[in-house]
A and B are shown apart, each in its own frame.
Chain A
Amino acid sequence: MGSGHQSAGVVVVTGVSRYLGAHVAGRLRADPRVGHVIGLDAAPPPADLAPVLDGVELVHVDLTRLTTVIDHLAAQTVVHLGVVTAPDPSAGGRAAMKEQNVIGTMRLLAACHQAPRLRKLVVRSSTAAYGASFRDPAVFTEDAEPLEVPRGGFARDILDIEGYVRGFRRRRTDVTTTVLRLAPLIGSAADTTLTRYFTQPVVPTVLGRDPRLQFIHVDDALDILHRAVVEDHPGTYNVAGAGALTLSQAIRRAGRIAVPVPEQALSAVAATARRFGRQGPAFDQLDLFVHGRVVDTGRLVTEFGVTPRTTAEAFADFLRANRGRAPLARGRVLAAERALLTVRERIRSARGTG
């Protein structure tokens, strides 16, 4: 149960060269309950994240070559955010992503296993852990098992990561282990494959499918990750905004135009993109756009005592910051409606006088 406001001691955060890692490390640094914050990443943080990391000790190590660093740093808490959600063609593509996610987590957990002072482990997972099947329930609770292995690389990595965490949990029962399954991140500051998708004027969808989507607002995700470190919440939690939007509804709210494409065509493009290591519609996206994904957040709300912004609210906040080139913006639809009504009024009055 969530209280335990004791000092979290030395906290090691992985993946601090990315948005989520940098901001979690920054928030922990500003929290008086946290002793010392050390950020791990193979690459130095980009210029825009450097101010966020002010006061955080940075250690440049590659997770995939990690040995005993966790114990050397005297870590009492490890927050594993060094999980890559989409391949970066300029940084080795899918192969590097898998190396980082799977081997990186394996090495990190092996190092954690060898760290007797470790008291807490927080791992960023994803709702992709539920896989994608037509026999899935509409709403996943944390105990749902994936029925089919997903096609997407990220989803497969997540299954591996959670497998390693389960093994770690069994061996180190003295460590409070929290797994947070995050829904896709959205918000005014989020920049992900999905947010880039919604800012294009014309967006491809899968013909004959209108999946239910769920988002978590970035700020709520940061708050929950922060709480998982400074409070005690052992277990696995879905982290998402309650409710759902269908893809078509989200596209309409964004004022974008949907272009339905047959699934076979999209798979072929995704397969080609995967083979040549190029960025494009990945199988992760395709699985999501065929099956949709909605999770139950009851456990998060009762155990953490927080209610994140609903999916609709989080999406609305994202839209406020990303109006951009919206061909079917609400204002235009309203104007068209008014124009039609004016035309009708004119015809009516013309008939009345004539």
Chain B
Amino acid sequence: MSGSTAAPAGGDRVTAALAWLRRRLTGEYEVDEFGFDPDLAQRVFLPTLRPLYRHWFRTELIGADRLPARGPALVVANHSGTVALDALMLAVGVHDATGRHLRLLGADFVFRTPVVSELARKAGVTLACHADAERLLRSGQLVGVFPEGVKGVGKLYRDRYRLQRFGRGGFVAAALRTGSPIVPVAIVGAEEIYPRIGDIRPLARLLGIPYFPVTPAFPWLGPLGLIPLPSKWLIEIGEPIDTRERTGDADDPLLVFNLADQVLETIQQALHRLLRQRPDPFGW
């Protein structure tokens, strides 16, 4: 369905906005089999997040040229910040540097939660499972994964920048099986946005979420406590790890664990280095 038939002429912003609105209202856009809506991502999600990335967190992207311009790759990053804003900021950084959409893998509670699940799917997120990760990689996508998962985002402020265990290393197996390079990424800054000092367990259980965070501002200041602190962010893209020659290693648990540890170690060292570059978490 092309939206151009009998569309009113004119090249200005109002005309373009109205034409876009008409296309949205009549369903004339494409969604892929994962539910990713590139038109919505490009015109709504990314423009909404970009001011946060550029002006609120003053994010610096280091080594963007190491991101592959085409073909599959598995981008592996550390996870933190109580709310998974780091994943969204990484997606903005990757998109603006390469023009490619980072297809994130999310925990199942994301898909259990109404509204959130649908926003996630439209933004290109899918469930962190072998089938989806490998399908995306086989179709040549750039896939983003946070192997620490909920343990990483939900850790306490005193544990900041200490990487948690990398799950069962499933992400490594997915990369090996599809021969996709693994790109380690270190993110500094997300740990300070909602410094979590506690947890209200009964409330978390009631709401069906992994934890109910307590920060110096939340829930005491109400909605004000939801504003992330304006920390300074550094995102460093590491040297890609080639896996093309190692496709057979995917079924050897020991080799998988070793490679997962190697990725973890690389990211941990990069974090230490970046923290020295950024002595003041809230500086410019």
Contacts and interface: CB of A to CB of B under 8 A. Distances in A.
Contacts of A139: 33-34, 131-132, 135
A319 to B, nearest CB: 10
A155 to B, nearest CB: 19
A263 B114 CA distance: 10
A116 to B, nearest CB: 40
A249 B129 contact: no
Nearest to B5: A334
B117 A138 contact: no
A286 interface: no
B217 interface: no
A333 interface: yes
A134 B111 contact: yes
A135 B26 contact: no
Contact of A141 (B24, B28, B131): B131
A48 interface: no
B32 A243 contact: yes
Contacts of A328: 25-26
A337 B27 contact: no
Contacts of B121: 138, 210, 212
Interface string A99-137: 000000000000000000000000000000000001111
B32 A333 contact: no
B25 A137 contact: no
Given A208-B115, A337-B19, A344-B14, A138 B34 contact: yes
A151 B201 CA distance: 30
Nearest to A242: B33
Contact of B25 (A212, A244, A252, A344): A252
Interface in B21-43: 21-22, 24-29, 31-35, 37
Contact of A212 (B26, B33, B108, B131): B33
Contacts of B115: 208
A308 interface: no
Nearest to B129: A137
Given A135-B127, A136-B127, A212-B121, A249 B29 contact: yes
Contacts of B25: 252, 328, 333
B202 interface: no
A183 B272 CA distance: 52
Contacts of A250: 27
B224 interface: no
A138 B19 contact: no
A252 to B, nearest CB: 3
Nearest to A246: B31
B144 to A, nearest CB: 15
B8 A337 contact: yes
A248 B29 CA distance: 12
Contacts of A136: 127
13 contacts: A138-B131, A212-B121, A244-B32, A248-B27, A252-B24, A252-B27, A253-B1, A292-B35, A294-B33, A296-B135, A334-B22, A337-B19, A341-B10
